Chain A
C-alpha cells in the first residue's frame, strides 16, 4: 500500500506544481499588470517605475519563484481592488464555500446512494425508472436556471425560504439543492452500476448459497464492493462543487470564494483570481489524494497487495 500511496503522492506534487505555474501564467495573461496598477492616465515612465517597484521587469521564472516562495508562506499578494491581503480575503470567505460544498455533497450522497442501491436491487421497477429520470434531470438542467426557479417557487411564491445572504443556515438550503442536484446523477449511476455488477457476481451467488439474509447480502457483501468507485467519485465531486460554486454563489449572493473570484474577474483583480484558482486546484489535489488513501484502505487487494 505504501508504494501505491507514494506513487500517487508524487504525481499529486507534480500536478500541484504544474497548476501553480499555470495559475501564475493566468495572471500574466491579463495584459500589462504594471499598466493596470499604474492606472489609466499613467505615462510610460510611470508605468516602468511601477513595474520596477513591483518587480515586474524581472525574468518570468524569477517572478514565479518569488511568488511561489511567498505563497508557501501564506503571502498571496494583495488585491488590486481594495489592497487587502488576498489570504485574508480568502480566509474570510472560504468558510461559506466550504459549508455550501459540504452540505451539497451530503445532500447528494444521501439521495444518490440509497437510490442507486434501490434501483440496482429492483431493475426496471418504477424506482429504477424514477431514479434514472432524476439522473437525466440533474444532468440536463442548467443549475443557475434551476436555482432561479427554486427562488421563484420557494422564495417568492411560497415564501418559505430566504433568497439571498449567507448568515443563516436556511440561506444555504436552496443553494445546496441547486448545487447538489448536479452531482446526484453521477453518484447515483456509479452506485447503481457498481451494485448491479456486484449483485451479478459469483461471490454474491455464494453468499446466497450460504443462506445469508437479504440485508446481509446487500449491505455487507454487495455494497461494500460497489462503494469503492463511489469514494473516488465523491472526492472528484467535491472538487467539482468547489469550482462550480461560482455560479450558485452568484445566483444566491452567497459570500464565498466563488463569488469573490467572479467579482474579481469582473474587476480584473487578478492576484485574487489567480490565488483562488490555485487554492481550489490544490484543494482538489488534496481531496483526490485523500480518496486514494481511503480507497487503498478499503480495498484489501491494494492495502495488502
Chain B
C-alpha cells in the first residue's frame, strides 16, 4: 500500500520543518506554508516523510494511503 504525504492545512502553522526534512516532496509557498508533491513516497523518501511527520510541531503532516479519495463530496 503506497503512501502519500498530506498536510492538514487547519493544523499547519507554517513552522517549515517539513520542507527541511522532506525536500523530496515539500516546498514552501511565499507565506511559508507547505506545497506538497502528491507522488507516492517509498523507500528512503518514505523514511524521510515519517521523520518529517513526527517532527511537525502541530502534527499537521500526515502519511495517507495513496488513492484514497472520498466517493462523496459536498
Partners in one complex: no
Interface residues of A (CB under 8 A from B): none
